[in-house]
Amino acid sequence: MKRSIADGRITPDESDDICTWITHLVGDSATDTGIATFGNVGVIEGALNDHNDVVFDQRMFVLTGKFTLGPRKAIQGMISDRGGEFKGNVCRNTHYLCVAAEASRDWKHSHEGLKIIRAIELRAEGRGPQVVHEGTLAQAFAR
């Protein structure tokens, strides 16, 4: 880390390394790094980091966790206003699983954890939803 900041400039690779270290040290570090993590569990592989990759029109969204953006109904309304649809559970036709920034350290044993596990299983079969962190979703709403 000292080498990364010694020259007063941080390269993209150095930035990735710093974010990874924060993730490992803090646990739920998404607020600081934009990386979707849950408690002491590592990064969810394949999570979308670029808000420009989120398409709303005719796409199916599932929300999981307690969102800081607002009540779930308000978020569902923002999705609907942009042409998207929402569902309560992850299935094969789900395009995006949106994960709240405030995640439980016990996510695997919660209802929200079941949605994440199902999304990961479907992705392993090559047909699962993209995982979108709340921060990325907020940026997509703002564009």
Judgement on whether residues 66 and 129 belong to the same structural domain of the protein: yes
Per-residue pLDDT at 94: 97
Q: Is residue 41 part of a domain?
A: no
Residues 23 and 72 in one domain: no
What domain range includes position 27? 2-33
**Stated pTM of the model:** 0.68
pLDDT of 60 reads 98
Q: What is the pLDDT of residue 103?
A: 56
- The pLDDT value recorded for residue 25 is 47
Domain count of the fold of the chain: 2
Block means of pLDDT (10 residues each) for the chain, length 143 residues? 66 72 52 50 69 97 91 96 96 93 57 78 88 92 92
17 and 57 inside one domain: no
Same domain, 82 and 22: no
Residue 62 lies in a domain: yes
β-pair partners for 131: 97
Is the residue at 109 inside a domain? yes
The pLDDT of residue 36: 53
**What is the Cα–Cα distance from 47 to 96, expressed in whole angstroms?**
10
pLDDT value at residue 120: 84
Both 12 and 65 in one domain: the answer is no
CB 137 within 8 A of CB 69: yes
Q: Residue 117: its pLDDT value, please? A: 83
Do 67 and 121 lie in one domain? The reply is yes
- Write down the pLDDT at residue 98: 94
